[in-house]
Structure 1
Amino acid sequence: MGVSRFAPLLFVALLAGCGTTPLPAPTPTTTPSPTYGPPPPTGLSLSVGQVEAGLGHRASVLTLTNRDTAPRKVTGYPDLKILAGDGSPLDVEVLHETSYFASDPGPQDLTLQPGEKALSVLAWSATVTSGDQHTGAAVSVIPIPGEPVQKQPLKTDLGTTDTVKLSAWASRIGN
């Protein structure tokens, strides 16, 4: 009997699940969205990283860049909603806590100098148990109170969980 062509993949998948260390945090990207437009030229600009996956978990890094000429204070958690394809918000609970991909440092005061960035990790499980599966097409984010809403495309295959985890803004992603 020959070795399955999937054996190396199965070995890697099993090996990945053996340790207690989560996968590396997703890498942020800054590709402008053709649907929602490029980042704003001034103010606090949001970009959304590609979706990373591991053992049924998914995550994307939210990157907030200070495009002003003066320092900006950032604290707490982004105000985030998952949007359906038509732009309407889905009924998804946003939990402020540690996820499979990143620890949550909790709210902290950050001062972003011009060009500096703050990061937050949006994570979810693609678990399917019973009921209807839900998929988001975008996110709507108010980076800090008083700032305008920014929308970015982001496919979120939520399975049947209807829950996401979001870490607080931080200068780096912790595991």
Structure 2
Amino acid sequence: MRRPHSSRLLAPAAALLLATACGAEHADTGRGAGADVPAPRATVTDPPVDGVRITSVTIPAASPSPTPSATLGRVHADPLTVPGDSGISAAYQVSNDGDEAMTYTVLFDFTTDTGAVMDNKEVTVAGVQPGRSTSGTVDLGVLVPGASPVTRVKVAKVTKVPADEAPAETGACPASGVRLWADDGDAAMGLRVVGLHLENCGKRDYSLDGYPRLSLLDDNREPVDGIRILHGGAAIASGTGFDEPPVPLVLKPGETALSGLIWRNTTLAGTAVNVPYVRVLAKPGAAPVTVTPGLDLGTTGKLGVGAWQRADR
């Protein structure tokens, strides 16, 4: 019961087209005497989405001398239909207007003219300092066989957490000596299960005994009230794998533990509740880590959490 990727979108996607009528745009073909003609690049001046904006999009043209045409406020170039790397990419800029360093995770959708998503790519931009901006490029890579032509790129979702609370599945071991992150989760018939993973990446043993401590946060990372956090998966549904009571664990360096978040997205009377951020303490006094599982809690008003259990990496 693999959880669909689209179910994790927390807000309506804001399309950033190759060019739009509301912003200045041009197609940069970069032609020069005796030089190869590069793929046309369309400059984008649309406003940012939560601090992230696409600055230009590059789509290879079907002919060696492409001439993108502007139609209805859009710059369009027919993409190549050749095997291998599509050559489609988007340049982006991430700007932090807050007062603390933030780590951004951005989901980019590569779409057709009608908005159908042909593929998406997720990019993490770590440690953007307050008042600063950083730039990068996201590549589509190989387009799946039979896919319709990609002509647009849009920012589908942006999440951002304090840099010192960002999850770390890989890379340098945090100062705490442990990594903690959430997986993509599974979903079936309204039941959601997201794994919380913890690895002792330090040089000392790490002890656990009980349940992770959770704080539920809204889009502004303010507390969400009115949700009961229940111990054990059985409080939500049976057979989730997180029903066992807590037992003391001692993780040697390199060993891992697993917990889980369990909920249903049932919606009856009342207002549905969505929780984009969960601040996790592995145990009392531990360094906090903020994960982004996108809890679509419906109107159930409850979330289950499993006890830490030993896991294989």
Q: TM-score, normalised by structure 1?
A: 0.75
Alignment of 1:152-163 (within 5 A): 152-163=291-302
Give CA deviations for 1:31-83 in whole Å, capped at 9, x if unaligned: 99643335252422210011310111001000011121111111100001221
Question: What RMSD over aligned residues (CA atoms) do the two structures have, in Å?
Answer: 2.2
Offset of residue 113 of structure 1: 0.7
**Is contact 1:82–1:140 with CA below 8 Å preserved after alignment?**
yes
Identify if the C-alpha distance between structure 1 residues 149 and 41 changes in structure 2 by more than 3 Å, giving closer, same or farther.
Answer: closer
User: Among 219, 233, 248, which residue is 1:98 paired with?
Assistant: 233
Identify if the C-alpha distance between structure 1 residues 73 and 33 changes in structure 2 by more than 3 Å, giving closer, same or farther.
Answer: farther
> 1:119 and 2:258 equivalent?
yes
> 1:137 and 2:272 equivalent?
no
Secondary structure (helix, strand or coil) at the match of 2:293 reads: strand
Ranges of 4+ aligned residues in structure 1 off by more than 6 Å: none
Offset of residue 172 of structure 1: 3.7
Distance 1:112 1:105 in 2: 18
User: Among 159, 174, 189, which residue is 1:41 paired with?
Assistant: 174
Identify if the C-alpha distance between structure 1 residues 112 and 94 changes in structure 2 by more than 3 Å, giving closer, same or farther.
Answer: same
Higher relative contact order (CA 8 A, sep 6+): 1
Q: Look at both structures and tell me which one has the larger radius of gyration over its CA atoms.
A: 2
Distance 1:73 1:169 in 2: 10
Give the letter aligned to residue 257 of structure 2: A
**Is contact 1:63–1:117 with CA below 8 Å preserved after alignment?**
yes
Give the letter aligned to residue 213 of structure 2: D
Identify if the C-alpha distance between structure 1 residues 147 and 103 changes in structure 2 by more than 3 Å, giving closer, same or farther.
Answer: closer
Identify if the C-alpha distance between structure 1 residues 127 and 77 changes in structure 2 by more than 3 Å, giving closer, same or farther.
Answer: same
Gaps of 5+ in 1: 1-22, 25-30
Distance 1:130 1:52 in 2: 25
Offset of residue 144 of structure 1: 0.8
**Is contact 2:242–2:259 with CA below 8 Å preserved after alignment?**
no
Deviates more, 1:41-50 or 1:78-87: 41-50
**Is contact 1:49–1:60 with CA below 8 Å preserved after alignment?**
yes
Offset of residue 148 of structure 1: 1.6
Give CA deviations for 1:87-143 in whole Å, capped at 9, x if unaligned: 012122110023432232111110111111110010000001100001011110010
1:20 maps to what in 2?
Answer: none
User: What number of residue pairs does the alignment pair up?
Assistant: 145
Secondary structure (helix, strand or coil) at the match of 1:154 reads: coil
User: Among 57, 62, 80, which residue is 2:196 paired with?
Assistant: 62
- State the percentage of identical aligned residues: 30
Q: TM-score, normalised by structure 2?
A: 0.43
Gaps of 5+ in 2: 3-121, 126-159
Distance 1:166 1:139 in 2: 12
